[in-house]
Amino acid sequence: MSRTVIALRLVVPALWLGLIIGLAFLEAPLKFQAPGITTALGLGIGRLVFFALEIASWVLLLVMSVLALRRPRISRTDWMLLAVTWVVMAVQTFVVRPPLNARSDIVIAGGDAGDSVLHYAYIVTDVALVVLLVWIIVRGARNLVLPDARAERGA
């Protein structure tokens, strides 16, 4: 396997992890603290940012999947992590995000969307993605380091 593929198997999930942390956990709450930002304006900006993050996330997940297929052997655990990541992304994109967009449309138009747990559901999916990505990165790093350590010990 080429060094580029090996490096990408760590860099791609790390890049995605950084995007989620930077945008979902830092930018999203901070924008509402900026002077002059109304709730409607913040929601409009947030929708653009999260739409871009969603596109980037799907592209990175697809790249991760292609890279997994390029491995000579992939463990059952690695396949499960990848599959669960696909499911979480699908839930976030097709179950949670559409009603959130509808609610933000109401607020942007000047209405009151009322209380909802949808933002918490979105946060849960983001936290799940963070956990999955960290797990994928750790397993990928171990797969690179541990075979070398075993070889040095003569195992």
Residue pLDDT, tens place only, 80-135? 999 999 999 999 999 999 999 999 999 999 999 988 999 999 999 999 999 999 99
How far is CA 35 from each of CA 13, 38, 39, 50, rounded to the nearest angstrom?
A: 34, 9, 12, 21
* Contact predicate 42/31, CB 8 Å: yes
Let me know: does 128 contact 88? Beta carbons within 8 Å.
Answer: yes
pLDDT at 146 over 80: no
Q: What percent of the chain has pLDDT over 90?
A: 80
Q: Say whether pLDDT at 76 is over 50.
A: yes
Determine the pLDDT at residue 150.
44
Please give the average per-residue pLDDT across 47-71, as a whole number. 95
pLDDT greater than 80 at residue 154: no
Domain count for the chain: 1
Q: Output the six-digit token pair for 138.
A: 């750790």
Q: What is the pLDDT of residues 18-38, one digit of tens each?
A: 999 999 999 999 999 999 999
What is the structure's pLDDT at 148? 53
Does residue 154 or residue 68 have the better pLDDT?
A: 68
Average pLDDT over all residues of the chain:
91
Q: Taking the mean position of all CA atoms in its chain, how far away is CA 141?
A: 19
Q: What domain range is 138 assigned to?
A: 3-152
For residue 38 the two structure tokens come to 């109304």
Q: What is the DSSP letter of 70?
A: T
Question: What pLDDT score was predicted for residue 5?
Answer: 85
97 dihedral zone (left: phi>0; alpha: psi -120 to 50; beta) = alpha
Give the residue carrying structure tokens 């797990």: 135
pLDDT at 1: 67
Give the residue with greater pLDDT, 154 vs 86.
Answer: 86
